[in-house]
Amino acid sequence: MAGIRLHQIGQPGAQPPAASFEQPFEMLTACHERVERMLRLLHRLCQHLDEKGLDEQAAQAARDVMRYFDLAAPDHHEDEERHVFPRLLAGTDEHAKAVVRRLQQDHRDMTANWVSAREVLQRVSEGSAPTWSGLGEADRATLARFADLYADHIRAEEDTVYPAASALIDAPELQRIGAEMADRRTARP
């Protein structure tokens, strides 16, 4: 393996997204693509640690994953919790409501699992090669558990929830949602 190839992943926030806040559902889908890129980076980081050990490239990859899941992922979850899920929970589609309730639980599980996954990544980002003892089985299980939460979650949002919610929102409301999503991100210190 030639390395983790961060240039193929992209740094969180370094590239302008293809979608804009004027199209909130496209923006949410673009966020999913970035989540998947960060999870691929996490997977490659684990491979890199096995093959080459701890080095600056591995430490930087760990910092990149932490930065993304510390900043962008919580914003994404908040967007869904504020603007997407309530509309479906207020509706009459019982299947959509059940999916939303599961996704809300997923968000809680992701938040809880991120604490443990972040601790593993923090150790990688701060470790030094001479004292690095590698990822233990518990560390691997922690990172895998965190990553595994996303696949079905993203599929349910894109296949069921986003289409159902977007059908309930008219153009002026969509514009208001996009503006609010953008404002929350620019208001951050």
DSSP state of 19: S
**Amino acid 16: pLDDT:** 45
Q: How many residues does the chain have?
A: 189
- Give CA–CA dist 69/64, Å, rounded: 9
**Can you give the pLDDT of all 189 residues of the chain as single tens digits?**
345 554 444 444 444 445 778 899 999 999 999 999 999 999 999 999 999 999 999 999 999 999 999 999 999 999 999 999 999 999 999 999 999 999 999 999 999 999 999 999 999 999 876 677 889 999 999 999 999 999 899 999 999 999 999 999 999 999 999 999 999 888 766
What CATH code is carried by the domain that includes residue 152?
Answer: 1.20.120.520
For residue 15, is it within any domain? no
Residue range(s) defining the domain that contains residue 98: 20-128+135-186
**3-state SS, residue 141:** helix
Q: What percent of the chain stands above pLDDT 70?
A: 88
For residue 5, is it within any domain? no
Name the residue among 133, 114, 127, 98 with its Cα closest to residue 35: 114
**Amino acid 4: pLDDT:** 55
For residue 70, is it within any domain? yes
- 147 contacts 39 by C-beta, under 8 angstroms: yes
- Give CA–CA dist 29/135, Å, rounded: 32
For residue 6, is it within any domain? no
For residue 77, is it within any domain? yes
- 38 contacts 12 by C-beta, under 8 angstroms: yes
**Amino acid 21: pLDDT:** 85
For residue 2, is it within any domain? no
Looking at the structure of the chain, the number of domains it has is 1
DSSP state of 71: I
Q: Which residue has the tokens 């996954």?
A: 117
For residue 161, is it within any domain? yes
For residue 60, is it within any domain? yes
